[in-house]
Chains A and B, each alone.
Chain A
Amino acid sequence: MAESVEIRPMTFHREVLARIAPDLYMQRHLSLGLRPSLRAFEEFRNVEISDGRLSCASEDSINREGNNILGSNVLKCGKTMVITSITGGVVEENIPVKSEENEIVESYNETDRAANFGQVYPVVEVERGRVGAPTDEEMTLSQRIYNCILHSGLVPKTALDVAVGVRSTDAEGKTTITYSDEQEADGALPTTFKFRRKWTYTLYAKIQVFSRDGPLFELCWNSLLYALANTKIPRAFVDERTTDLKIPISMRGRSAAIRETFDIICDPTSFLPLRLNTSNKAFASNFAVIDLDPEVQLPKDDDDMQDSMPSSVLLADIQGEAEEASVTSTISVVTDGVGNLKHFKAVGGSSKITMDMMRNSIKLAKLRASDLDRKC
């Protein structure tokens, strides 16, 4: 009757354990003072960046024609690769007819902070070997980056204004382009062409991620920042033959005037760097808070080490399936090197986020930001 049951410990290969019991795998590593990636707790991964020479405005571009990428970045961090390309568009702003006579006054709007900043429209795509509509992750990433760009005030609205020039053709068929801000150099402006319209650039960012290996917001944000830093916007002009046409129309007894839209043409040889608010340039880092489970710690050689073990630890730069799966509390900081924060997000899951950990994460993020800023 009494059948002896023998209990034998099971052993798994490293990868198998990481897949079937990520939390145990994680705790075993942590008790050794290491992480599954073999990094120390507060160690970041190295980031490699390049502009990929994709932009048509860059000096050594691999392609200048038929290319309207204005800024680009390729960021590699561990296995993950993020490719960001910035493209542009032009919007003619609706200015009420009445204000046409008045000079459009550019001043800092005290009552609406966000109105002073320009936007960038990001679309994040993460390759995952599936086709279909954007996933929730891609959508929340895009929206978070969008919010963050707007509220950080990185792109001043005035930087997106188009200083429109005029292209004139003289009797010999030679064309010259005159920009209003270059007037002083050229002497008097030949024509009294004055625009009663206002155009602004819109910037789009396409962010493509390969080999997703952990949270992506920080990588995408940093890549976008590098791409914006090397973004150059083309000078634009209209042909002198275009005139400010107003077409009177009447419809159902009401009359109105439609203004013909101008064709804005971009100059493929002359670019100006995008003027960013450099004081608002901030880099992103992420952290995780994880509780140490005393039951699965590996036995220590010397016993006096046991009691000095903290109950939870802060990990910098989350990487890999095991870390992401076993971590519920995360902190994400967007800051510059001296502590001007632009975005902060702490999500407390099952592990408690203490004040010390928040302070510590900001401290580390500042160091990281000044390090990343140097790569620009």
Chain B
Amino acid sequence: MLSAQTGILEQVDGSCKLQCGETTVICSVTGPIEPKARQELPAQLALEIVVRPCRGVPSTREKLLEDQVRGVITPVLARYLYPRQLAQVCFQILESGEPEENYSVKELSACINAAFVAIVDAGIGLKFSFASVPLSVLGEDEQICVDPSQTDLIKSSSTHVLALQLAAGGQKVENILLFESYGDFTEKSMLQVLQSGEKACVETALELRKVIQHKIQQDFVWR
């Protein structure tokens, strides 16, 4: 389901191409670098996040994606290690995998996962690992669909994105970094989504760890 390659871009410090079902995204991380004066934070690493859509020019939709990604990355980065510095995290959506005018859950989730791998690739300090999954709830019997396909997404009565902060080798859930839902749902179905989302997140995290393991093996192949 999920596949990723690291180090695909040469001019940046870290990069990752991640494919998750119908969605593909490239993430690049540059940093720590010198910030512009207005971005500089006296005691912490500043973040600049850019999302480019798969076609056309960025609009408010991409701004919202940037805001959501920022909310996830900010608390997990060890920002105190890099005072008065900047990290640029850029995303280029290659394949959206969803009707863009109405949905953004699959892109968001792919961006968050790609960011994790790319940040590790760039060697910027992370306090925790994290992973994300998109979910949707289908039909009368409230069937929960993890990583929905495009058709499932359109049919669904509600869509959710879950990003979790993980510990103990990606096994233990520490905190909810982002849980965002749109549509028609109840408290009960939401908590069920959260439950199955947690499981799926842990699985995704293990996949991502494999990618990183592979990357490290490659990096130290000369030893």
Contact = CB atoms under 8 A, between A and B. Distances in A.
Interface of A: 110-114, 136, 139-140, 142-144, 146-148, 150-153, 280, 328, 339-350, 352-353, 355, 358-359, 362
B60 to A, nearest CB: 4
B190 A355 contact: no
A347 B164 CA distance: 10
B66 to A, nearest CB: 8
B218 interface: no
Nearest to A351: B175
A339 B71 contact: no
A151 B159 contact: yes
A241 B181 CA distance: 50
B184 A144 contact: no
A139 B182 contact: no
A345 B182 CA distance: 9
A104 B99 CA distance: 24
Nearest to B176: A348
A34 to B, nearest CB: 27
Q: Identify whether the interface residues of B are mostly helix, strand, loop, or mixed.
A: mixed
User: On chain B, which size bracket covers the interface?
Assistant: 35 or more
Nearest to A136: B63
Interface stretch (B81-89, B116-124, B149-157): B149-157
A139 B180 CA distance: 18
Contact of B184 (A136, A342, A347): A342
Contact of B181 (A142, A144, A345): A345
Interface of B: 60-61, 63-64, 66-67, 71, 74-75, 99, 102-104, 151, 154-159, 165, 174-187, 190-191
Nearest to B139: A110
A326 to B, nearest CB: 14
A218 to B, nearest CB: 15
Given A151-B183, A345-B180, A139 B159 contact: no
Nearest to B181: A344
B176 A346 contact: yes
12 contacts: A136-B66, A140-B63, A147-B64, A147-B104, A152-B183, A152-B184, A341-B185, A343-B180, A346-B178, A347-B177, A352-B175, A358-B191
Nearest to B158: A151
A344 to B, nearest CB: 4
Given A339-B187, A355-B191, 6 more contacts: A114-B102, A140-B64, A152-B182, A343-B181, A346-B178, A359-B191
Contact of A113 (B154, B179, B190): B154
Nearest to A341: B185
B155 A112 contact: yes
Contacts of A143: 60-61, 63-64
